[in-house]
Structure 1
Amino acid sequence: MGLSLLIVDEISLHIFYSQREVPSSNIALHSAHCARNLQKCEHCGDMVARKLMDEHYDENHAPMNCSLCKHTVERELWDLHTGIQCPQRMLACQYCQFELPAVDLFEHQDLCGNRTEYCQSCRKYIRLREWIGHELQFHTILNAASELSSDRTRAAAEQPVPKPARPATGSLHKQLLLTVAVTGVAVLIGSILYQGKGK
């Protein structure tokens, strides 16, 4: 009876270290080897070779430094940080597709959404922030009001289409980039002149 208790204790010790099946004749030797060479990781509970514990920690548990916002982030939260939380992650404006840091996106979209585009069907300028609602309200097949009068449609087709006062969306992106570049050059020249006057 005492022998079987000893074997049960040795088996459970063996399972604690390597979690592998070992013939009962080798349990004592195997358990001693595991106790000497393996260590339980305090972060994940895995059994890791003692000589590789630092490498295991660096690869699996060490905090990571975000190159965008300079914050130190726990490795387990890295994907969440880079995907949702980092204020410096790059996001595209829903109106012009220009990419900028998330922290600046709200203010940019507030201004960008106030720009207008010409609606060919209505012959009106519509704010970009209202464009989708405008399309749904006035230009969908489900909207019966747009199909009630074929006379209106014929009359609209006969009217000449005025040229839009603004360029198409693609050239707006180019204009925005040009504006940013010109502004940057102006700021650079202004700062050089200002430094010259200070001396």
Structure 2
Amino acid sequence: MAEASDQATTLCSHCDRDIPSSNIDLHYAHCSRNLEKCKVCSDMVPKKYAEEHFLSTHAPVSCSLCSRSMDREVLAVHKGENCPQRIVTCDYCEFPLPAVDLFEHQEVCGNRTELCNLCNKYIRLRERSNHESICNGVQNIPPEPFRSTGETERGRRPQRRQPAGFSTKSLIFTIAITGLAVVLGSLLFQSKHENSPMH
């Protein structure tokens, strides 16, 4: 019976802990005088360290990158995933820059072009990964015009190709200049012939 009464406990009204009944008065006197319950986490902390406990554990903190104030518990996630000033890298050039500037940078950077080594076409950087997955290395050749199924290669006439650097406009210009030179030469010759002292 004596052992059973020694094991009896009483709930301390200050710290809400079960205390052996034989010690409850002494415990309560010490507990209520020296300890304080944290309003945030309900831990019992020494009264003289209560403010320090709050500041070091629960007080809002400022992000060192963007100066925004937040709960300490979310600071690491904020800095790693949400802070607009966290450093990220461009998907196209791998340049490090603040996350807040990334969209505008990638709009410009993604429109730059690079030569595809397989098909020799210039491809926008934003389309590069998609292009590489479908590129078969065929040169950039314009599609042939539609032919009926009855037409054969033998029956087609090859188109006459003009010499490089030669066009219809340059041909007409050359004829016009030549004609003008002939007319001027003829007039000049006639004028000299009329002014000749022999006549």
Aligned with 1:95: secondary structure? coil
Q: CA deviation at 1:127?
A: 1.1
Aligned to 1:11: 10
Aligned with 1:48: secondary structure? strand
Cα deviation 1:162-193 (Å, max 9, x = unaligned): xxxxxxxxxxxxxxxxxxxxxxxxxxxxxxxx
1:26 partnered with 2:23: yes
1:121 partnered with 2:103: no
1:90 partnered with 2:87: yes
- The question of whether the paired residues in 1 share the 8 Å contact of 2:90 and 2:106 is answered with yes
Aligned to 2:74: 77
Aligned to 1:102: 99
Aligned with 2:114: secondary structure? strand
Aligned to 1:197: none
Question: Structure 1 vs Structure 2: percent identity of aligned residues?
Answer: 51
Q: Quote the Cα distance in structure 1 between the aligned partners of 2:29 and 2:130.
A: 72
Specify which of 130, 133, 136 is matched with residue 136 of structure 1: 133
Q: Quote the Cα distance in structure 1 between the aligned partners of 2:126 and 2:87.
A: 21
- The question of whether the paired residues in 2 share the 8 Å contact of 1:18 and 1:34 is answered with no
Cα deviation 1:137-158 (Å, max 9, x = unaligned): 236xxxxxx8xxxxx79xxxxx
**Could you say which structure has the larger radius of gyration?**
2
Q: Quote the Cα distance in structure 1 between the aligned partners of 2:103 and 2:42.
A: 43
Q: CA deviation at 1:85?
A: 2.5
Q: Quote the Cα distance in structure 2 between the aligned partners of 1:26 and 1:13.
A: 10
Aligned to 2:39: 42
The normalised TM-score by structure 1 is 0.58
Q: Quote the Cα distance in structure 2 between the aligned partners of 1:12 and 1:72.
A: 39
Consecutive unaligned residues of structure 2, counting only runs of 5 or more, are 1-6, 140-199
Consecutive unaligned residues of structure 1, counting only runs of 5 or more, are 1-6, 140-145, 147-151, 154-199
By relative contact order (CA 8 Å, sep 6+), the higher-ranking structure is 1
The normalised TM-score by structure 2 is 0.58
- The question of whether the paired residues in 1 share the 8 Å contact of 2:11 and 2:19 is answered with no
Q: Quote the Cα distance in structure 2 between the aligned partners of 1:89 and 1:50.
A: 38
Cα deviation 1:10-38 (Å, max 9, x = unaligned): 72226x6174x643322221122112211
Aligned to 2:64: 67
Aligned with 1:11: secondary structure? strand
RMSD: 2.6
Cα deviation 1:54-74 (Å, max 9, x = unaligned): 111111111112222222222
Q: Quote the Cα distance in structure 2 between the aligned partners of 1:23 and 1:90.
A: 56
Greater helix fraction, Structure 1 or Structure 2 = 1
Quick one: which amino acid aligns to residue 55 of structure 2?
D
- The question of whether the paired residues in 1 share the 8 Å contact of 2:35 and 2:45 is answered with yes
Aligned with 1:100: secondary structure? strand
Q: Quote the Cα distance in structure 1 between the aligned partners of 2:74 and 2:134.
A: 42
